Chain A
């Protein structure tokens, strides 16, 4: 696993007990991971009152380095060996390497889910509502007498909290066609998952 040199230097600071004392290291690491995963805990580092370091700028840089490593490792799906060797290069003592690796293992799935959801995708269908009407007549024609379905697809967009809707109507034949095509897609899916 590779980090840009400036980040590697910053990470090295996190391994030094002058800046981050041994007693505070575990909570330092914990806060870094939680800050990435939970957007409301992004500034939790401010609340760590036990830091009595003489150089707050160094603490800040160390935190930046650690967070960069967390995200990059999850992004590249790094395994423990590569992570450990990177931390060794940054002159981390063995206990600190172990601490970071364990926390990384624990949080890796959540980190990857979060990273996977970043980015633009088309509207993602999550639910469908339907309504069946009987079309009797209109102001130009009487005796129309047809069944009409109104279909609403509920979709999710990554940036919006509320579900969006896509609405359209269908006659019975059209719905038959639609369901036929969806069934083809399902069969294709089954075949792929078995083969």
Chain B
């Protein structure tokens, strides 16, 4: 699978074809910082002065790089596809090598950052359990009822929530058995075949 670039993108990145690989590395570093923390226009000024070009050119160059890196990470391009995609941009050998290295080093991190934007369901975080015996209540004295108390911690896009639940020994065994079966299901031949074939 190859990345397709629009003419505008190619134009923005064309600036980088004229500079040395060290400058490209520096631009890549700036792009990664921006991907992590958001853009900071003041940096463009400094860089533009040093390189003796327009602020806009620097701006577009960095944005073009950010787009290249995020799209490649999003599609999880392998090495060959990445190299083929940037072939058309007119970079020289060293620059292409540099870009490839930066891509491979950072793509995990970029994917983690992208995943923060995706929708999240309330997911399991932790389970605390405790075994109690109920001895009495206001309406009945002299009981011996075994109870298991749970505190289920869930998290939804960073917001943590706890739910207090209880169960009795019979239901605890049933719960464990059913969830264990669910876990084993992932190891069944059917599921393994599906996982192998969806790539």
Which residues of A approach B to under 8 Å, CB–CB? 74-77, 112, 115-116, 118-119, 121-128, 130, 132, 134, 136, 138-143, 145, 147, 149-151, 153, 155, 166-172, 174-179, 181-186, 188-189, 192-193
Contacts and interface: CB of A to CB of B under 8 A. Distances in A.
Contacts of A130: 178-179, 182
B80 interface: no
13 contacts: A116-B139, A124-B167, A124-B171, A128-B174, A136-B198, A168-B121, A174-B123, A175-B179, A175-B182, A179-B183, A184-B129, A186-B176, A189-B148
B51 to A, nearest CB: 33
| Interface of B, helix, strand, loop or mixed by DSSP | mixed
Interface string B123-163: 11111010100000111111101101110101000000001
Contacts, number: 160
Interface residues of B, number: 57
A172 B186 contact: yes
B122 A168 contact: yes
B76 interface: yes
A126 B148 CA distance: 12
9 tightest A-B contacts by CB? A115-B140, A125-B167, A118-B139, A143-B76, A182-B176, A169-B121, A77-B142, A130-B182, A122-B164
A147 B195 contact: yes
B165 A166 contact: yes
A134 B165 contact: no
Contact of B165 (A132, A153, A178): A153
A184 B115 CA distance: 33
Nearest to A172: B186
Interface in B94-135: 111, 114-115, 117-119, 121-127, 129, 131
Identify which of B129, B145, B150, B176 gathers the most chain A CB atoms within 10 Å of its CB.
Answer: B176
A178 B127 contact: yes
B115 A134 contact: no
B172 A170 contact: no
Contact of B75 (A128, A143, A147): A143
Contacts of A171: 123
Contacts of B122: 167-169
Contacts of A181: 127, 129
B185 A132 contact: yes
Contact of B171 (A125, A167, A168, A188): A125
